[in-house]
Amino acid sequence: MTDAAHLDPLDELAGIRQSIDNIDAALIHLLAERFKFTQQVGRLKASSGLPASDPDRERVQVARLRALASESHLDPEFAEKWFTFVVAEVIHHHERLANGAKSAGDPA
Ligand SMILES: O=C(O)C(=O)C[C@]1(C(=O)O)C=C[C@@H](O)C=C1
């Protein structure tokens, strides 16, 4: 039987952790892809003199992500905190690019 109730709890924990590991790996890959695109945005903004941050775009995204989170039974507050945390890092990268760094990771 593969029913969870008949598994050793430590085996069951190890099985669940395999799925958590896969999801964490996918999240890291998705974040890396997101930062590749935001680096493109940062270069475009730096070369055309556009401001690093766009509060209107952020407001639209926060509303959209909060609604998606609610539909998915994820805490909308958490979704907003996650977005705000990531965007703060993106803006930092944009500012470094605007100040002459070749890539967001370079010392400016
Ligand atoms: O879309 C942009 O203009 C970006 O710079 C990307 C991004 C984001 O990471 O989503 C980051 C900073 C802006 O304030 C808004 C959005």
Contact 70, 77 (CB under 8 A): no
Complex ipTM value: 0.99
pLDDT at res. 30: 98
Considering the domain 4-98, what is its CATH architecture?
A: Up-down Bundle (1.20)
Pocket test for ligand 1, best of 30, 53, 64, 89 (most atoms within 8 A of CB): 53
> Which residues have CB under 6 Å of ligand 1?
38, 41, 53-54, 57-58, 61, 87, 90-91, 94
pLDDT tens series, the chain, 108 aa: 556 668 899 999 999 999 999 999 999 999 999 999 999 999 999 999 999 999 999 999 999 999 999 999 999 999 999 999 999 999 999 999 999 987 777 654
Domain ranges of the chain: 4-98
Dmax over CA atoms of the chain, in Å, equals 64
For the chain, the straight-line distance linking the first and the last C-alpha, in angstroms and rounded, comes to 59
107 DSSP assignment: -
Report pLDDT for 104: 76
Q: How much is the pLDDT for 102?
A: 77
